[in-house]
Chain A
Amino acid sequence: MIETQGLTKYYGRIPAIQDVTFQIEKGEVVGFLGPNAAGKSTTLRILAGCMPPSSGTARIAGFSVTDNSLEAKRNLGYLPENISIYPEMTVQGFLKYVADIKGVARGEVSREIGRVMERCGLTHMSRRQVGHLSKGYRQRVGLAQALIGNPAVLILDEPTVGLDPRQIIEIREMIRSLADSHTILLSSHILPEVSMVCRRVIIIHQGRIVTQDAMSVLEKSAERVTVWVEAIGSEQTIRNILQGVPGVDLVQLRGGSESTGYRFEVTGLRGHVTPNQIADKLVRAGVAVVALQERSRTLEDIFVEAIATEESLSGSTEQEP
């Protein structure tokens, strides 16, 4: 439903995104993740047809956003990052305006407005001016305008940014309820948000795609645990003992000497590899344990790692979107 091929956008001579290629199938809910200024909004704006790419192609529901932009836009609901709605309009008036612009059949307009207002919990606010609404309600209006015309594809740029925790939960619930009937691309720089709603993530950093994996793959790698071990003894002995611990699949020497103790990084399955178990094995063998520390690999670690790897490879400078 959403398809990009080699998407590149230059702002002047600075590349905001480079060679962004991904594909999102019908019915998928995909998280678009990256630190600030990674190029998320640029990519989404190109998809929404707000600006054309410098090179590359993007398709929404099979229609090119540059060559067939009207058709592409008819299949798209877009919620920009900082949504700005004419403050003098009422919620209902604004949604009517959007329905007219999107070309909702005349007889259907009031039913369509009723439907999206109910879906977004705006029915009791329909006569309020948008300028008088709280940020949370304004965000709901933003979501409501994206839903008008029931487009197949929804592109939501940081839908929960700037909201209070209760509003964040409400908006997330709303997005989750939309997942059954729409293809959704949702950008965020907050990982838990993405992990709650999405089944797949695309991580972008410094304008390039770093990872695109199913959530379950990422979560699997989060099931692994790392333990730092510092112990005094011969290097080979310690290594042999550590490798003998059930569940351990990687032992790496990270420094130290025989007199001050060696530092090892032990990686293995969570639940199987624990500091207690390692200490037990080492002490039984007569090795003096200096320090033991468990570090769980959370989704955040994977996110940071993905970004860090890319950073050391490219070493390029920070970019503005």
Chain B
Amino acid sequence: MRAFFAIAKREFFSYFVTPIGYVVTAVYVAITGIGFLASFIYYARISQSPAAYQYPGVPDFEETMLSPFLVFCGQVMIFLGPLITMRLLAEERHRGSMELLLSYPVRDAEIIFGKYVAALALLVVMMGGIFVHLCIVAWFATVEPAVLVLGVLAVFLMGAAFVSVGLFISALAKNPITSATTTFGAFFISYILGAVGKDLSEANPAPATWSDQARTIVGFFYRVFRRLVLDLPLDAHAQQMTQGVLQLEDIVYYGVLTAFFLFLTFRVFETRKWRTGV
């Protein structure tokens, strides 16, 4: 347990000894700040003349302003998440310090969870900006506290899932740049697929002239593909939660996704048994 804390502490402080921790936090706060301002101004305009924006009356604040803003905060992690996770394991290998780490009496779990928790801690620091925005909202508007708490939780869960995917890729990569690029690619492609997937119709795309069997097979694979495209993007399950609707399904989704990628990280870590080098 002490080894876990020592690794997490070292990793967390190394974010702030090298400038990366400050830079990522500053950029995240700036981007989410601009996002907050933009959605606030947009909502203010709508509420002044709803008719001009095709709204029957002043729209729901949570649905129109708060939820899109919080989902956006999570989506920004597509760009910044890879920078948090790229070094975690790839740099130890790249620099050669992994050899030393493995010669100490530590378990794989202490290394992997130590790194993971350090990245989560940085995520919490980054989310400090969002917290300030939500305090402003709570001060000026009448919003249920549950909505705010769930909103922050949703952003955190999205971030935690991003970090677990990034940690897994960092375990695979030989150096931080490949790690960051691959992670970014994975996030961005899944995001685009998700955006495209919203337009996919539910109907079976196979032509009616095909035999029933062919139509059933095509229909099955299409349904699987459509569900994957809709469900896999990490922001897919944040919508409801950011509006204050707590669904077990969404929590389970992020929990399972995070656990799955942590599990894969363990497996990758074990491949050193048959891989060349350390």
Listed in ascending order, the chain A residues whose CB lies under 8 Å from chain B are 11-12, 45, 48-52, 69-71, 73-74, 76, 78, 80, 82-86, 88-89, 97-98, 100-103, 145
Residues of B contacting A88 with CB < 8 Å? 14, 17-18
Closest chain A residue to B11 by CB distance?
A86
Closest chain B residue to A104 by CB distance?
B2
CB atoms of B2 and A103 under 8 A apart: yes
The smallest C-beta distance from B173 to any residue of chain A, in angstroms, reads 17
5 pairs of A and B residues whose beta carbons are closest in the complex: A100-B6, A84-B96, A73-B105, A78-B103, A88-B17
CB atoms of B276 and A12 under 8 A apart: yes
Residues of A contacting B9 with CB < 8 Å? 97
Q: How far is the CA of A102 from the CA of B10 in the complex (A)?
A: 14
Closest chain B residue to A100 by CB distance?
B6
* Residue in B10, B17, B95, B273 whose CB lies within 8 Å of A97: B10
Q: How far is the CA of A59 from the CA of B184 in the complex (A)?
A: 43
The smallest C-beta distance from A252 to any residue of chain B, in angstroms, reads 46
Q: How far is the CA of A49 from the CA of B9 in the complex (A)?
A: 24
B7: CB under 8 A from chain A? yes
Residues of A contacting B103 with CB < 8 Å? 48-50, 73, 76, 78, 80
Q: How far is the CA of A156 from the CA of B147 in the complex (A)?
A: 58
Q: How far is the CA of A78 from the CA of B100 in the complex (A)?
A: 8
Residues of B contacting A51 with CB < 8 Å? 102, 272-273, 278
What would 14 A/B residue contacts be, using CB atoms closer than 8 Å?
A49-B102, A50-B102, A50-B103, A69-B105, A80-B96, A83-B96, A84-B99, A86-B14, A98-B104, A100-B5, A101-B2, A101-B7, A101-B105, A103-B3
CB atoms of B6 and A97 under 8 A apart: yes
The smallest C-beta distance from B17 to any residue of chain A, in angstroms, reads 4
CB atoms of A80 and B100 under 8 A apart: yes
The smallest C-beta distance from A302 to any residue of chain B, in angstroms, reads 32
B97: CB under 8 A from chain A? yes
Q: What is the 8 Å Cβ interface bit string for chain B, positions 14-57, against chain A (1 contact, 0 not)?
A: 10011000000000000000000000000000000000000000
The interface on chain B, measured as residues whose beta carbon lies within 8 A of the other chain's beta carbons, has a size of 25
CB atoms of A101 and B14 under 8 A apart: no
CB atoms of B273 and A52 under 8 A apart: yes
The smallest C-beta distance from A196 to any residue of chain B, in angstroms, reads 26
The smallest C-beta distance from A148 to any residue of chain B, in angstroms, reads 10
CB atoms of A84 and B6 under 8 A apart: no
CB atoms of B96 and A82 under 8 A apart: yes
B125: CB under 8 A from chain A? no
Closest chain A residue to B276 by CB distance?
A11
Q: How far is the CA of A70 from the CA of B95 in the complex (A)?
A: 24
Closest chain A residue to B100 by CB distance?
A80
Q: How far is the CA of A89 from the CA of B6 in the complex (A)?
A: 13
The smallest C-beta distance from A172 to any residue of chain B, in angstroms, reads 22
CB atoms of A101 and B106 under 8 A apart: yes
Q: How far is the CA of A11 from the CA of B5 in the complex (A)?
A: 34
A12-B276, A86-B14, A89-B10 known; A102 and B100 CB under 8 Å? no
Give the residue among B17, B96, B97, B100 with the most A Cβ atoms within 10 A: B100
Residues of A contacting B102 with CB < 8 Å? 48-51
B107: CB under 8 A from chain A? yes
The smallest C-beta distance from A159 to any residue of chain B, in angstroms, reads 14
Closest chain B residue to A106 by CB distance?
B2
CB atoms of B100 and A84 under 8 A apart: yes
Residues of B contacting A82 with CB < 8 Å? 96
Q: What is the 8 Å Cβ interface bit string for chain B, positions 86-115, against chain A (1 contact, 0 not)?
A: 000000000111011011111100000000
Residues of A contacting B276 with CB < 8 Å? 11-12
Residues of B contacting A85 with CB < 8 Å? 97, 100
Q: How far is the CA of A103 from the CA of B110 in the complex (A)?
A: 13
* Residue in B2, B18, B104 whose CB lies within 8 Å of A73: B104
CB atoms of A74 and B105 under 8 A apart: yes
Q: How far is the CA of A98 from the CA of B9 in the complex (A)?
A: 12
